[in-house]
Amino acid sequence: MKINCLSCGHSVDIGDAYDDYEGQVKCFTCGAILEIRTEEGNVRAVKLAQAVMSPPAKKAH
């Protein structure tokens, strides 16, 4: 099944394993984290959990 990425607009093919799923998936195109809920192969909810990651900033402790 496919979902539309809220960040880049591409449709992300997440496969049939996600036909009944609630949790996070990563957009392969832009790297944004999407929080999705699917039921019986239908998308019930999609929201952006985390926008595109910026370059890793290392913090010195």
**Rule CB under 5 A: which residues touch Zn ion?**
5, 7-8, 27, 29-30, 32
Query: What is 6-31 written as a DSSP string?
Result: TTT-PEEE--GGGSSEEEEEE-TTT-
Contact at 8 Å (CB) between 29 and 5? yes
Least distance between Zn ion and beta carbon 15 (Å): 16
Least distance between Zn ion and beta carbon 59 (Å): 27
Contact at 8 Å (CB) between 50 and 36? no
Least distance between Zn ion and beta carbon 3 (Å): 10
Q: Which is nearer to Zn ion, 34 or 59 (CB)?
A: 34
Q: Which is nearer to Zn ion, 8 or 53 (CB)?
A: 8
